[in-house]
């Protein structure tokens, strides 16, 4: 087991290296730091002096890959690639273009993101599975037909509509909860109700359909027929036999997104002005802060790789047929 995990961790290194090189190419080769400086300082009437000042300030004034002017080890160390990209492997995110410490920002803002994303995921899972089970229980009836149609309709509505509509109806017209904002500690709950509710609701359509197909696949199998033949009622077979077995793909599907919950949701957080990593990213995109976007891309892929690892491990825990080797 330990051996397997170590091997998987080593295997993920080339992946992260690939991501790193990709972002490096995207951010420094496609457009040179000069272009970025010109963009940041305003398009026209930028003097060479101002550009080189900006580059020096942000540490972009060294060569990309190979510094022939430096001595010995510094030939590699005094380059943009070494300073800006290699540090990411040690989770040293450096300083943003506006002069803030990205690492500290991320640590601080990950928790509000989690406070929205985790309840959304858990409640959504519960609601989706309940609805899907209901539809499978009443399969081949008008109730199921209506459920399918409703799911397609819910799926076809833009998530922006749910957010704007929810804010308008619950926040503005009914005045049940604040429209947006965030607070520390337990006070945050009243701000979290609406985003969680809307997040759950906008996921129902596709979620229920997906779980329904999973359950239906399971219902067709031989062991379910045997269970029915033994004389178990439909509800008993569904809850005692189908549900535990269908939980395997569901659980592993959830595990893979667990680490990514820290990243938060871009739209939800910006609509409800929650100071999480999602709105952090949006602010960075809007103010064209390349350092933050680069850091978030890398962080996201690290979390995804961790998620893949957790998935493999969780397979062995819930499904005795799978052995790691």
Partner 1 sequence: MVVLWTDALIYLLIVVMLALGWYLRGKEHIKRPLQQIGNSKIGMVSLVVLLFFVLIGLLDSVHFKPEDDKKNEIISLLDAFAAPLREHGEKTYSAPFATTLYSKEMMMQSDGSMQWGYPRLEFGGSHLEAPETQLMPDILQKAAYGLVQGLGLMGLLLTISLLRRGNAARPEHCQRVLAARGADKASAKAIWQVLLIVVPLAAALIHLSAYYHVFGTDKVGEDVFYQAVKSIRTGLVIGTLTTLIMLPMALIFGILAGFFRGWVDDIIQYIYTTLSSIPGVLLIAASILMVQVYMANHEAAFTSVIVRSDMRLLFLCMILGVTSWTGLCRLLRAETLKLREMEYVQAASALGVKQGAILLRHILPNVMHIVLISVVLDFSSLVLAEAVLSYINIGVDPASYSWGNMINGARLEMAREPIVWWSLTAAFAFMFALVLAANLFADVVQDAFDPRRSGNE
* Chain centroid, CA 141 distance in Å: 37
Strand residues in 50-112 grouped as ranges (E): none
Shortest Å distance, C-beta 14 to partner 1: 7
- Non-local CB neighbours of 89 within 8 Å, separated by 6+ positions: 16, 20
Return the number of the residue (27 or 93) whose C-beta is nearest partner 1: 27
Binding segment (CB under 8 A) for partner 1, from list 30-38, 47-55, 95-103, 123-131: 30-38
**Residues in Cβ contact with 129 at an 8 Å cutoff, skipping those fewer than 6 apart:** 211, 250
Q: What is the CA radius of gyration of the chain?
A: 25
Query: Which CB sits closer to partner 1, 3 or 158?
Result: 158
What's the CA gap between 137 and 285, in Å, rounded? 47
Please state the length of the chain. Answer: 325
Whether the CB-CB separation of 267 and 57 falls below 8 Å is answered with: no
* Binder among 22, 91, 122, 169 for partner 1 (CB under 8 A): 22
Toward partner 1, which CB reaches closer, 34 or 78? 34
Q: With beta carbons less than 8 A apart as the criterion, state whether 253 and 211 touch.
A: no
Complex with partner 1: residue 69 or 169, whichever CB lies closer: 169
The only residue of 4, 8, 38, 76 in contact with partner 1, by rule CB under 8 A? 38
Binding letters toward partner 1, positions 167-206, x by CB under 8 A: xx---x----------------------------------
Burial of 270-307, coded b for 16+ CB within 10 Å and e otherwise, reads bbbebbbbbbbbeebeeeebbbbbbbbbbbbbbbbbbb
Among 3, 10, 43, 231, binds partner 1 (CB under 8 A): 43
| C-beta of residue 172 within 8 angstroms of C-beta of residue 179 | yes
Residue 270 within binding range of partner 1, rule CB under 8 A: yes
**Of 39 and 77, which has the nearer Cβ to partner 1?**
39
Q: Measured from the CB atom, is 30 or 90 closer to partner 1?
A: 30
The least CB distance from residue 163 to partner 1, in Å, is 9
* C-alpha–C-alpha distance, residues 127 and 208, integer Å: 8
Pattern of binders to partner 1 over 280-309, x per CB under 8 A?
-xx--xx-x-x--xx-xx--xx--xx--x-
How far apart are CB 286 and partner 1 at their closest, in Å? 6
Whether residue 266 contacts residue 258, with contact meaning beta carbons closer than 8 Å, is answered with no
Which residue of 15, 127, 243, 322 would you call a contact of partner 1, by CB under 8 A?
15
Map residues 66-105 to x or -, x wherever contact with partner 1 holds by CB under 8 A: ----------------------------------------
Using rule CB under 8 A, residue 266 touches partner 1? yes
CA dihedral in degrees (227, 250, 118, 125; nearest 10)?
-50
CA-to-CA dists, residue 18 to 85, 92, 309, angstroms: 11, 18, 18
The residues of the shown chain that bind partner 1, judged by CB under 8 A, are: 14-15, 18-19, 22-23, 26-27, 30-31, 35-36, 38-39, 43, 152-153, 155-161, 164, 167-168, 172, 220, 260, 263, 266-267, 270, 281-282, 285-286, 288, 290, 293-294, 296-297, 300-301, 304-305, 308
């Amino acid at each position: 087991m330990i051996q397997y995990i170590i091997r998987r961790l080593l295997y993920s290194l080339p992946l992260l290296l690939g991501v790193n090189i990709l972002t490096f190419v995207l951010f420094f080769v496609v457009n040179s730091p000069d272009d970025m400086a010109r963009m940041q300082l305003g398009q026209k009437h930028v003097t060479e002096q101002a550009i080189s000042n900006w580059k020096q300030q942000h540490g972009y004034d060294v060569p990309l890959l190979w510094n022939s002017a430096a001595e010995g080890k510094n030939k590699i160390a005094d380059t943009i690639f070494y300073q800006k990209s290699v540090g990411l492997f040690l989770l040293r995110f450096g300083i943003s273009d506006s002069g803030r410490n990205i690492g500290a920002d991320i640590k601080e803002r990950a928790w509000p993101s989690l406070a929205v994303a985790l309840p959304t995921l858990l409640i959504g899972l519960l609601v989706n599975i309940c609805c899907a089970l209901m539809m499978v229980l009443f399969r081949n009836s008008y109730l199921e037909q209506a459920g399918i149609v409703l799911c397609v309709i819910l799926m076809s509505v833009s998530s922006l509509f749910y957010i704007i509509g929810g804010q308008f109806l619950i926040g503005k017209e009914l005045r049940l909860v604040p429209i947006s904002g965030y607070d520390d500690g337990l006070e945050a709950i009243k701000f979290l109700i609406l985003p969680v509710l809307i997040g759950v609701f906008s996921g129902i359509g596709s979620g229920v359909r997906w779980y329904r197909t999973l359950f239906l696949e399971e219902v067709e199998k031989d062991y379910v027929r045997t269970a029915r033949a033994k004389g178990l009622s439909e509800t008993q077979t569904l809850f005692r036999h189908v549900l535990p077995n269908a939980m395997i793909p569901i659980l592993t599907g959830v595990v893979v997104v667990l680490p990514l919950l820290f990243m938060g949701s871009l739209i939800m957080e910006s609509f409800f002005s929650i100071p999480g990593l999602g709105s952090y990213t949006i602010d960075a995109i809007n103010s064209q802060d390349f350092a933050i976007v680069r850091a978030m891309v890398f962080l996201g892929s690290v979390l995804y790789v961790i998620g893949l690892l957790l998935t493999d491990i969780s397979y062995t825990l819930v499904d005795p047929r799978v052995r790691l080797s």
